[in-house]
Structure formats: structure tokens, C-alpha cells
Amino acid sequence: MLNVGQIEEGFVFDHIKAGTSLDIYYKLGLDKKDCTVALIMNAKSEKMGKKDILKVEIDINSLNLDVLGFIDHNITVNVVHNGDIIEKKPLELPKQIVNVIKCKNPRCITSIEQELPHIFVLTDPDREIYRCKYCEEKADHRF
Amino acid sequence: MRHLMSPLDMSVSELERLFNLANDIEKNMQDYSEVCKGKKLATCFYEPSTRTRLSFEAAMLNLGGSVIGFSEASSSSAAKGESVSDTIRVISCYADICAMRHPKEGAPMVAASRSLIPVINAGDGGHQHPTQTLTDLLTIRSLNGTLNNFTIGLCGDLKFGRTVHSLIRALLRYTGIKFIFISPEELKVPDYITQELDDRNIEYKEVIKLDDVMPDLDILYMTRVQKERFFNEEDYIRLKDFYILTKEKMELAKENMLVLHPLPRVNEISVEVDDDKRAAYFRQAQYGVYVRMALIMTLLGLAPDVLDKEA
């Protein structure tokens, strides 16, 4: 059993697909926040074989978790307060995501307009399809 | 403030009002000659499209308004690198309504989000061309009598043709419509459209030869099959005649079938078909002006209530 020390306030993201936690670190914008982060990669998992874990010491109201729902809603989100897990937060598909992925359609206005946010909207929740708000190009990857 | 980005931006009942107004314009054109007096339409065309631009300009002039604008990006500040957001903020100071054509998909939506005046998408790349769809719907409604219960054949390039995709999605809101898609294998209607038809249990079939389905059609919507869309020359030569509408093919059709085409036509409809009373594509261009007149009035809040007028 790997032990990286407890956090007092923040999140433990478990069951992350092995090898992808560094991307999640950036997608959550943790590189821009002043917080302690433990990144565990390729840990053994009964359920998944191998998995990543991300521990973040941060104010629990300061992180937007929508992006995780978009990337992989099977990630377990443990919310930690005063050293205890107070909630296992279910992840839902966000209705829209902003500046998480870029539109790859070369004909899209996002390819030339200055400082235009890349916005993808959930258009088909059953098939988990997101489309660019501007040109309706399908997001071809989740992660 | 209302904009028009996609034909689905308007509800079916809003479209009914719009089409009633367009039909009233058709009958009583002179009553509308001063409705937009003192108003200016800006036609911001970042790529050339003579037909659409002139149709918008004719519509505004018919309403007594005036027109300013540019017809290609090189003669606008876009050539100096100005963003769409900045351009529309400036245009908002000069005009009362804007029709925008742009090669980049979603550009009119960006403009609408920053604009102080209504913006009409006059075509954005391969994405949307809502006023063409409104034109198609008005033509069908006016000449067929209804937008429900008919069989429509869409023929030609169904893969890349934005007018076709847009029309199909707009027709999904009406009832009793059967779709027949007539195209070569390479240019079939995209999966996401057939998926939507399957999800809604809407009847459709896909065929390769136009002749086989001519007797079934109430409306035939023709589009151009471009040679460069084919993978090889051999297939093009083998298939191209399947998609050329001739007098002989018209003999197979119902007596009251309508032939539509978004134009420009190249050779996919023989000129000899033009004299057939079922050929409706030039009347369709006329309806394009009526529907744009109705749209400009509606978005400017100047549309009279046609029902009141009839009473």
C-alpha cells in the first residue's frame, strides 16, 4: 500500500485511467493554483489493473470539476474536509466545457478570431456527444 | 434582440407568421414599400456571393430602406486583421441590421454575441445558410400548399451539401414527411442525419438512381454533383448521368411534382426542363426575396400582424 500522507482539505481523485493524471492536473488548472498536489501514477488496482491517483490540498469550493465529468465520469471524487472524506461526489457530463479542448475544424472561426474561447456543448447526452458551439464540429476525443 | 443563425432558431409558429407575412408581401408588395424607410442594412460579405447578397439588398430596397456594405474580405478591414467582434461593434454604429457571409464557420454567431443590431447568418462556410432553408420552406409551403405529408427526394451531393442538411433538419419538425436520398455511394447523407431519422422513427430510403424513385416524389430537391468530389474519374463518368434531370426523367414523375434547386445550376438540370410547369427553381429565387423581406421586418420589430390585416 502506497502512502503519500493525508490531506486536511481538498480532493482525492481515484480510479483515474493509468498515465493520464498529469493531463488532468493541467485540465483542472492546478498548474495555475498555489496548492500542494500529489500525483501517483501506475498504482496497482484490483478493479483497473493499473490506475492513477491525484491528491490536491485546496479549498473545496475553489475547483471547477465539470471538466472531469467530460474527461471520464468514472473517476471517483473524494471530498476531504478536516482530514475526513465527507463526500464521494458523482460526476456528471457538463452541459458545456470552456477552453478544455480545441476545435480542430480548420474552417471554424475559433481558428482565427483573437481570444475567442473554445466552447463545446453537450448535444447528445445518451451518446455523450459534444459539439463546437460555433461550427458544430463533433469533439473527436474525450481525452 | 433577435438574430438568425440557424433555421431552427425560429419555432414552427414563428415560421408560420414569417411565411404568412412573406405570402402577403407576394400579393401586396406595394404595401411594404416604406416599412423600412430610414433603416440601413449592412451586407458584410467576407467572401463573394452575388446571389445571396443581391437578394438581401433587393429585399431591403423593396422595403424602402437602404444598403451599405462590402462584398469581399479584401475590401474590408478584415484584410488589415480586424476581428469579427470588432467589425460588428463598428457596423452596429452605422446600420440597423446586418447580413453576414463569412468563410469561417460560426463567424456570424461570434458577431451576434457582440452586436448591438440584429445579425443574419447569410452563410458561414459549410455550416449553415438559414435564409436558403427559409426560402426552401416558403417555396414548398406556397407551391405545395403545406409543409406536412409529402415525399421529398433529395438528389446529388448529400454529403457536403449544407443546404440539404439544413433543409432535412428543418423538415424534421413537420409531420408525415418521407425522405428519399438519391446519391452515389461516396456522397451519401452523413450518418448523424440518418441516425437522427432513425431515432425519431422517420421513414427514409437511400437509392443510387433517380429514375427508380421519380414516380414516388412530391418534391425533388436537386443539387450539383461536383466532379472533384468523386474518388476517381471512372466512377464519375459512370454515375454522372444518374443525377442529371432531363425531360425523359420528368415523364416518370407525378403531374404536380415540384423541382427545386438552391441554384446556381450547372448541368444537373437540363435547360429543356425549365419550361416544365413543375420546374420551380426560379420561382424559388423570387420567394427568397419575399422571405428575406419578411425576416428583415421581423428582426427589426417592424412586421405588421398579417392576420389582423386580413381581418
ipTM metric = 0.86
Of B240 and A98, the one with more pLDDT: A98
CA distances from B223 to A138, B106, B167, B262 (A): 25, 24, 12, 7
B236: pLDDT strictly greater than 90: no
Residues of chain A contacting B127 with CB distance shorter than 8 Å: 107, 135-136
**Which domains, ranges and CATH numbers included, belong to chain B?**
7-128+288-303 (3.40.50.1370), 131-284 (3.40.50.1370)
Q: Could B110 and A136 be called an inter-chain contact, meaning their C-beta atoms sit closer than 8 Å?
A: no
Q: Could B84 and A113 be called an inter-chain contact, meaning their C-beta atoms sit closer than 8 Å?
A: yes
Using CB atoms, which residue from B84, B126, B192 is nearest to A109?
B84
Q: For position B235, what pLDDT does the model report? A: 80
Give the cell for residue A33: 493554483
Quick one: what percent of chain B has pLDDT higher than 90? 80
Q: Looking at residues B227-237, what average pLDDT do you find?
A: 75
| pLDDT (tens digit per residue) in A71-112 | 888 899 999 999 999 999 989 899 999 998 999 999 999 999
Q: Of A4, A136, A16, nearest to A72 (Cα)?
A: A16
Looking at the complex, does the CB of residue A113 fall below 8 Å from at least one CB of chain B? yes
pLDDT class of B78 with cuts at 50, 70, 90: confident
Looking at the complex, does the CB of residue A140 fall below 8 Å from at least one CB of chain B? no
pLDDT class of A43 with cuts at 50, 70, 90: very high
Q: For position B309, what pLDDT does the model report? A: 56
pLDDT class of A3 with cuts at 50, 70, 90: low
Cβ-Cβ contacts under 8 Å between A and B: the total is 49
Q: Looking at residues B211-224, what average pLDDT do you find?
A: 96
Looking at the complex, does the CB of residue A105 fall below 8 Å from at least one CB of chain B? yes
Residues of chain B contacting A123 with CB distance shorter than 8 Å: none
| pLDDT (tens digit per residue) in B179-196 | 999 998 888 999 889 999
User: A135: distance to nearest CA of chain B, Å?
Assistant: 5
**Residue of A104, A109, A114 to mutate for B, most B C-beta atoms under 10 A:** A109
pLDDT class of B311 with cuts at 50, 70, 90: very low
- Across all residues in chain B, what is the average pLDDT? 93
Cβ atoms of residues A53 and A21 within 8 Å: yes
**Which domains, ranges and CATH numbers included, belong to chain A?**
10-89 (3.30.70.140), 96-132 (no CATH)
Which of A4-8, A56-60, B272-276 bottoms out in mean pLDDT, i.e. has the lowest? Answer: A4-8
Q: Could B110 and A116 be called an inter-chain contact, meaning their C-beta atoms sit closer than 8 Å?
A: yes
Residues of chain B contacting A138 with CB distance shorter than 8 Å: 192
Q: Could B105 and A116 be called an inter-chain contact, meaning their C-beta atoms sit closer than 8 Å?
A: no
Q: For position A55, what pLDDT does the model report? A: 95
pLDDT class of A1 with cuts at 50, 70, 90: low
Quick one: what percent of chain B has pLDDT higher than 70? 97
Q: Of B140, B101, B120, B117, nearest to B22 (Cα)?
A: B140
B310: pLDDT strictly greater than 80: no
Q: Could B110 and A107 be called an inter-chain contact, meaning their C-beta atoms sit closer than 8 Å?
A: no
Could you tell me which residues come within 8 angstroms of residue B4 by beta carbon, excluding any fewer than 6 positions away? B10, B118, B119, B120, B121, B130, B131, B295, B299
Which of B18-22, B77-81, B183-187 bottoms out in mean pLDDT, i.e. has the lowest? Answer: B77-81
Residues of chain B contacting A109 with CB distance shorter than 8 Å: 84, 102, 104-107, 109-110, 124
Using CB atoms, which residue from A109, A116, A138 is nearest to B105?
A109
Given the C-alpha cell 488548472, which residue does it identify?
A29
| pLDDT (tens digit per residue) in B147-169 | 999 999 999 989 888 899 999 99
Q: For position A51, what pLDDT does the model report? A: 96
B255: pLDDT strictly greater than 80: yes
pLDDT class of B257 with cuts at 50, 70, 90: very high
pLDDT class of A4 with cuts at 50, 70, 90: low
Of B66 and A63, the one with more pLDDT: B66
Which of A34-38, B83-87, B116-120, B305-309 bottoms out in mean pLDDT, i.e. has the lowest? Answer: B305-309
* Number of Cβ atoms within 10 Å of the Cβ of B282: 11
DSSP letter string, chain B: ---BSSGGGS-HHHHHHHHHHHHHHHH-GGGGTTTTTT-EEEEEESS--HHHHHHHHHHHHHTT-EEEEESSGGGSGGGGT--HHHHHHHHHHH-SEEEEEESSBTHHHHHHHH-SS-EEEEEETTTB-HHHHHHHHHHHHHHHS-SSSEEEEEES-TTT-HHHHHHHHHHTTSSSEEEEEE--GGGPPPHHHHHHHHHTT--EEEES-STTTGGG-SEEEE----GGGSS-HHHHHHHGGGG-B-HHHHHTS-TT-EEE--S--SSSB-GGGGGSTTB-HHHHHHHHHHHHHHHHHHHTT----HHHHH-
Give the cell for residue A66: 465539470
What is residue A109's DSSP assignment?
G
Residues of chain B contacting A107 with CB distance shorter than 8 Å: 103-105, 125-127
Cβ atoms of residues B50 and B280 within 8 Å: no
Cβ atoms of residues B133 and B161 within 8 Å: no
Q: Could B105 and A114 be called an inter-chain contact, meaning their C-beta atoms sit closer than 8 Å?
A: no
